[in-house]
Amino acid sequence: MNNIDLENRVVVITGGAQGIGFAIGERVDQSGGTVVIWDRNEDVARKSATQLSDRSVAMPVDVTDFQSVEKAAEEVEKKFGRIDGLVNSAGITGPVKPTVDYAIEEWSKVIDISLTGTFNTCRHVVPFMMKRNYGRIVNISSVAGKEGNPNIAAYSAAKAGVLGFTKSLGKELAKTGIAVNAITPGTANTPLLTGLTPEFIEYMRVRIPRDRFVDLKEIASMVAWLLSEENSFTTAATFDLSGGRTTY
């Protein structure tokens, strides 16, 4: 494992209680950073934080709630005096079904968590980063956001929206010391898979030239570098983790 210097950096990770978010938290912690887990599942979030070093903390936050995110950002700033990094990992796939069978409530829930939640966190964290002219934001998108997977239209649309939002925000902040990037992982073995059918999971696997799902540690490695001070030039970009499925 390469050494990534995140010493004394405070990094907020949404959906950090499990899956991709927690794997990133582990790598940040190993790199000397302070992990702040934002997750609506308070019990799981606190349990996950205890698995990291005693620098780490957990906060119950609903990323779809504008006021909840605003309050949490203020609490982090007050407690640590800074927010150096933000990883937007909170998201859900939603139901696997044709678009014509989607209920508006199902569509809205996926968009609210995966896309609007990303806006909410950036909206409240960026001002604190701007105060110090430094910050690193990594938004977790998906291969589905590039290609559009059938029968998960809301998730595909939300993750495509995350890419567009990342490019926009990155360009807005390009003349500052804040970098905003996204990653597009292929399928990984995370709790998100529990909501998918075995047939759909196999549909995704066979489209990966490496013929396997991405390992969570592989995702965390890329994100750790994107969160580091070394990532000083690249912004508004998308980094691929698809095992060769998407080459654009």
Active site residue 248: no
**What does the radius of gyration of the chain's CA atoms come to, in whole angstroms?**
17
The catalytic residue among 102, 134, 155, 203 is 155
CB 227 within 8 A of CB 136: yes
- Asked whether the CA dihedral 138, 216, 241, 184 is positive or negative, the reply is negative
Beta strand residue intervals within 15-60, DSSP E: 34-39, 57-60
Closest-CA residue to 164 (of 194, 141, 186, 143): 141
Question: In this structure, what token pair is assigned to residue 240?
Answer: 């691929």
Question: In this structure, what token pair is assigned to residue 71?
Answer: 């309050």
Closest-CA residue to 94 (of 79, 74, 78, 114): 114
Closest-CA residue to 97 (of 146, 155, 147): 155
- Asked whether the CA dihedral 119, 86, 152, 195 is positive or negative, the reply is negative
CB 178 within 8 A of CB 119: no
Question: Which positions are annotated as active-site residues?
Answer: 155
